[in-house]
Chains A and B, each alone.
Chain A
């Protein structure tokens, strides 16, 4: 059996090639197959925290962003049951924060919002938490609104792995989980975060945003006005194609 045939798995009946070290997510995105996700970015090590990329692998639920692809694997991704589970996860993320899309500067560019549409979410379903976490506007160029944070850890990883800094961390457990800032005062303004850092731009929701700006892109020209979340994430993958190896 040649190498190509050895390195294939099946996603929803479609044979998908992969190379050694790739996850199911890597293989799927490379093949143009969208698996919903929030905490995954190809250029960063996978985190496996949002669980939106949960797929059925040979009858077991696995996170596609962390589970290695293997020969002959049978993966179910786009099924009504998984869509329902993912929708519930997105609903829980919405009600755990204050995601007021109409006023949020990220609206139209927000991956959480886009996933809500993608998954057919019509309401929050669960009682909202209405958290009251601190808004940190101490930075001259950026603002941190913790009530919108979905604890995906993208800013944490971007700061550590790409920016070569260590600005953010997640602290607390369960409902007390929140993002903290590594600075003497705990304030963003005292950290070494720069507005050009990847960590300043990677937030999939409106938790980290440029300060004193907002709604500058007209309706109709925003990311998800022009592209579906699937198109957007597959395009992102092609720009940042990579493999994840355990160090």
Chain B
């Protein structure tokens, strides 16, 4: 259908989501939202401006994509850079492999804690349309101090793991081509062990809280929910794997699309579609085609896809999660948070295991091989599968780079969830604060962090526009950087 027959509602941008976001709802003449467009209107151009730079700089450049999950970008790039010096993921030393896993578990733990407690729990604890001034982490700390404080401490602990390995909580320095620049001292290891029992218990509490919230709110089950296929990484036995493994994609009914797929061949698996209204691309599984090949990534995908989780408490939680869907896949979009907390519990348990492994204090840190011109690193970042692909010239300068960040993989799904919510909550031709809140809750289920994909930081003013079928603005609503709602157009 031509756009000229649709009304247009624009919501610009989204609060409590890092980065720019703007939503346009294209409505047909029957007031149904026919298409939702989550516009990515900012462009940071990392893939372009690292061209011509030495490949050794890349993990340090790209971690600046994000302040929430920099370690994931750092490690994905490091895995690619390893290949540029001739080192495959299986060839790094045990100390390097385990230090990187520990670093990544710290990253996922702190990011998941931030995502749920700081950014999403206010919606779930207070209600989507509750007082905006109170619906934030400070409000959670006031009304639910036990929950809020655990969240803050969980995030802090993840950052302490990162700081012990990378020297800083955010944007540290850990990897070198083919290895790591330091191991953990016994003193650092013991310091991290002091709080780990609490961290595991609090993570378990967070799983229980999310399970309770989801089960007690059946109205949430269908909220922004989509029945989709999923993509994620799994280990060799089909276990949940966040650092290194093969790719698995499955249909919504659990039937196989691919399994144990070597991610260095990802260009055969995925293609990216460009649409002229967004800087964020639309990846799809090549075998399923452009229309049907979109998929979801991230915690929901990973917990659905994993045959089991290697740590006992998280595995027990996974089984309860899957039992909710009677053994099938859980498609509820708000169950992303539940799955996220299961992963956080897994990270906490895995951190404890690694802290008892003497290899993390080893001195054999770096290996080198024969230089290559291409490297591809893939990792399961907090928000989902993250692809880093680099090519260098004969002098070691970056010639070409391609990044598919997690949010990009969820692009189509976020649009579809927004469309679903808009159809459910749009009342007539009036844009309400309630609609706006609900749309933001849908986006936040996937991602509090558009900065990696949208490439901007900080909150931005929010603007909502309603366009009629002729393209005229008939109503608008704005949201300032501090959350103040106001009418900008009558």
Contact = CB atoms under 8 A, between A and B. Distances in A.
Contacts of A5: none
Contact of B397 (A103, A137, A216): A137
Interface in B323-361: none
Contacts of B171: 102
A240 interface: no
Interface string A137-161: 1100001000000000000000000
Contact of A137 (B54, B166, B181): B54
A103 B62 CA distance: 9
A137 B57 CA distance: 13
Given A137-B396, A138-B395, A211-B396, A216 B181 contact: yes
Secondary structure dominating the interface of A: loop
Contacts of B64: 102-103
B110 interface: no
A213 B172 contact: no
Contact of A213 (B56, B166, B168): B56
Contacts of A102: 60, 64, 171
A213 B176 contact: yes
A218 interface: yes
B57 A135 contact: no
Nearest to A187: B395
A65 to B, nearest CB: 32
Contacts of B166: 219
Secondary structure dominating the interface of B: loop
Contact of A219 (B173, B176, B397): B173
Q: How large is the interface on B (under 10, 10 to 19, 20 to 34, 35 or more residues)?
A: 20 to 34
Interface string B265-292: 0000000000000000000000000000
Contacts of A215: 56, 60, 173, 175-176, 181
Interface string B171-187: 11101110001100000
Interface in A86-120: 102-105
A3 interface: no
Nearest to B182: A218
Contacts of B172: 219
Interface in B413-448: none
Nearest to B50: A103
A110 to B, nearest CB: 14
B456 interface: no
B61 interface: yes
B50 to A, nearest CB: 9
A185 interface: no
A212 B181 contact: no
A105 B56 contact: yes
Q: Which of A135, A143, A214, A216 has the most CB of B within 10 A?
A: A214
Interface string B47-61: 000001111110011
B458 interface: no
B167 A103 contact: no
Interface in A46-86: none
Contacts of A220: 167
Q: Which of B54, B175, B176 has the most CB of A within 10 A?
A: B54
B85 interface: yes
A217 interface: yes
A153 to B, nearest CB: 24
B81 to A, nearest CB: 10
Contacts of B182: 218
Nearest to B368: A212
A138 B168 CA distance: 34
A59 B57 CA distance: 46
Contacts of B173: 215, 218-219
Nearest to A137: B395
A143 B54 contact: yes
Contact of A105 (B57, B85, B167): B57
Interface string B152-171: 00000000000000111001
Nearest to A136: B395
A212 B175 CA distance: 13
A21 B235 CA distance: 71
Given A135-B53, A215-B173, 18 more contacts: A102-B171, A103-B64, A135-B52, A135-B54, A135-B397, A211-B54, A212-B55, A213-B176, A213-B177, A214-B57, A215-B56, A215-B60, A215-B175, A215-B176, A216-B181, A218-B173, A219-B166, A219-B173
29 contacts: A102-B60, A102-B171, A103-B57, A103-B60, A103-B61, A104-B57, A105-B56, A105-B57, A135-B54, A137-B54, A137-B395, A138-B395, A143-B54, A211-B396, A212-B54, A212-B85, A213-B56, A213-B176, A213-B177, A214-B56, A214-B60, A214-B176, A214-B177, A215-B173, A215-B175, A217-B181, A218-B173, A218-B181, A218-B182
Q: Which 3 A-B pairs have the closest CB atoms?
A: A219-B167, A214-B56, A137-B395
Interface of A: 102-105, 135, 137-138, 143, 211-220
